[in-house]
């Protein structure tokens, strides 16, 4: 058994015993702890991490570090698969018609359009502006008015906006469509992008912060939110615009696809088994937010019978490679239903103003709640004139919009 003896620190030579013989020395050297601060803090929710920034300069720098933000986002995404969360936005109106009686939004705007979500950021288009915010950090900006899309003029306004991550630059982009020409017999559409860069671009002149893309080969439906999967944004093509009357080629039965990296267009055909005669209100599509990793999926839902909704799934990889549509689920429901989460064999569904759960293994469909009867923090005592609910699968994150 080795014997511990004092060291001659100055000379760096071990001391000897009383007999003058050399003896073996064991030195206990402190090592790096098994878990560092970032290994522990990455498990905390955003609310706690915002408080941690005030502890010391080292922790503040760590929480703001892009590598830590990315690691926390990945951790939040993995936890979401077991414990999904949603953003539920009740849309109420003092008056459904436009006018001075609508005071729900402080008269800043009159109505909201479809929300878009990406990595904890939420894009909220309105009839006045586009708003981008992070609900977890309460960080927000109002995007500049590009002056190309006249949102306040209903006949010419195009309410198409989407949010996604450009995998080449690592920056988030907002894509907005607008009409170059909107007249009887002719409709020509353009698109522009806004790159989110810590809010610095928002202080520049609007025409300099929006980048004009090439014109899309086909116009898209004027009320929708772009769905982003692996750096590619998908839009529903407007099939009612085309042919001889509109002096444009007939629109294909598919989705318009935009690469956020090189801003090029493509067309993704819809499943061959989907009836092209279906009207636009009978089918919808969305990205699957519960999948994270090499391959993600685009989900297509359609009413294929009087009491059933069929779901097709198409994988998309990092290079934009798109697989074939696979008909995977058939759910016995009366109207078009939207999947919100998939945990094991249980699928969370939204149908108009309610949430339900469908067990794929047992085919058991369980009603969960009415959205207007849920308890909301800070809600009014009674909802008045509830018009609609926007429901989005949501993953909290530390992604910044403005400079910290």
pLDDT at res. 37: 66
Contact 258, 175 (CB under 8 A): yes
How many CA atoms does the CB half-sphere of 251 hold within 13 Å?
24
Pairing relationship of beta strands 386-393 and 364-370 according to DSSP bridges: unpaired
Taking residue 173's Cβ as centre, other Cβ atoms within 10 Å add up to: 23
Contact 134, 176 (CB under 8 A): no
pLDDT at res. 100: 42
pLDDT at res. 112: 77
Taking residue 268's Cβ as centre, other Cβ atoms within 10 Å add up to: 19
pLDDT at res. 121: 93
Contacts of residue 147, Cβ cutoff 8 Å, sequence gap at least 6: 206, 207
Burial class (CB in 10 A: 0-12, 13-18, 19+), 176: buried
Residue of 194, 129, 186, 193 lying closest to 159 (CA atoms): 129
pLDDT at res. 382: 56
Pairing relationship of beta strands 283-287 and 265-269 according to DSSP bridges: unpaired
Tens of pLDDT, residue by residue, the chain (404 residues): 444 444 443 444 444 555 555 555 454 545 545 446 667 888 889 999 999 888 889 889 999 999 999 999 988 888 877 778 888 877 655 433 344 444 445 567 777 788 899 999 999 988 888 899 999 999 999 988 877 877 767 677 888 999 999 988 889 999 999 888 777 656 788 899 999 875 444 444 444 467 888 889 888 888 889 999 888 999 998 877 654 445 556 778 889 999 999 889 999 999 988 888 887 778 888 887 655 544 578 899 888 767 788 999 988 876 666 778 999 888 888 778 888 888 888 888 888 788 889 999 998 999 988 887 776 665 555 555 566 778 888 889 999 887 65
Pairing relationship of beta strands 7-8 and 232-236 according to DSSP bridges: unpaired
Strand boundaries in 231-307, DSSP class E:
232-236, 254-259, 265-269, 283-287, 296-305
Angstrom CA distances, 137 to 22, 80, 85, 394, 401, stand at 63, 18, 16, 14, 10
Give the C-alpha separation, 148 to 130, whole Å: 13
Strand boundaries in 275-398, DSSP class E:
283-287, 296-305, 308-316, 326-331, 338-343, 346-351, 354-359, 364-370, 386-393
Q: pTM for the whole thing?
A: 0.80
Burial class (CB in 10 A: 0-12, 13-18, 19+), 232: buried
């Amino acid at each position: 058994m080795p014997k511990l003896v004092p060291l001659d620190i100055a000379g760096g030579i071990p001391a000897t015993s009383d007999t003058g013989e050399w003896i073996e020395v064991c030195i206990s050297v402190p090592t790096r702890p098994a878990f560092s601060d970032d290994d522990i803090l990455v498990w905390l929710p955003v609310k706690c991490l915002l408080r941690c920034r005030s502890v010391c300069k080292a922790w503040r720098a760590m929480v703001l570090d892009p590598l830590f933000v990315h690691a926390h986002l990945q951790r939040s995404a993995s936890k979401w698969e077991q414990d999904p969360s949603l953003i539920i936005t009740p849309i109420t109106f003092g008056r459904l018609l436009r006018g001075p009686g609508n005071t729900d939004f402080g008269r800043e705007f009159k109505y909201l359009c479809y929300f878009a979500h990406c990595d904890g950021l939420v894009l909220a288009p309105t009839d006045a502006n586009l708003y981008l915010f992070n609900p977890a950090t309460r960080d927000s900006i109002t995007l500049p008015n590009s002056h190309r899309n006249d949102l306040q003029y209903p006949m010419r306004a195009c309410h198409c906006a989407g949010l996604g991550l450009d995998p080449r630059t690592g920056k988030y982009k907002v894509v907005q469509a607008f009409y170059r020409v909107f007249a009887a017999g002719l409709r020509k559409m353009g698109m522009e992008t806004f790159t989110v860069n810590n809010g610095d671009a928002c202080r520049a002149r609007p025409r300099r912060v929006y980048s004009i893309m090439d014109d899309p080969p086909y116009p898209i439906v004027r009320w929708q939110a772009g769905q982003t999967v692996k750096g590619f944004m998908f839009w529903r093509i407007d099939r009612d615009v085309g042919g001889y009357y509109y002096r444009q080629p007939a629109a294909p039965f598919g989705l318009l696809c935009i690469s956020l990296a090189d801003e090029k267009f493509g067309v993704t055909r819809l499943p061959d088994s989907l009836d092209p005669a279906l009207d636009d209100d009978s089918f919808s599509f969305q990205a699957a937010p519960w999948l994270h990793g090499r391959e993600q999926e685009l989900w297509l839902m359609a009413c294929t019978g009087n009491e059933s909704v069929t779901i097709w799934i198409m994988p998309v990889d990092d290079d934009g490679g798109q697989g074939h549509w696979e008909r995977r689920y058939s759910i016995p429901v009366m109207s078009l239903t939207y999947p919100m989460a998939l945990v094991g064999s249980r699928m969370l569904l939204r149908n108009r103003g309610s949430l339900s759960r469908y067990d794929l293994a047992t085919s058991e469909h369980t009603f969960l709640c009415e959205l207007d009867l849920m308890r909301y923090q800070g809600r009014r005592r009674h909802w008045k004139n509830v018009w609609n609910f926007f429901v989005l699968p949501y993953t909290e994150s530390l992604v910044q919009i403005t400079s910290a």
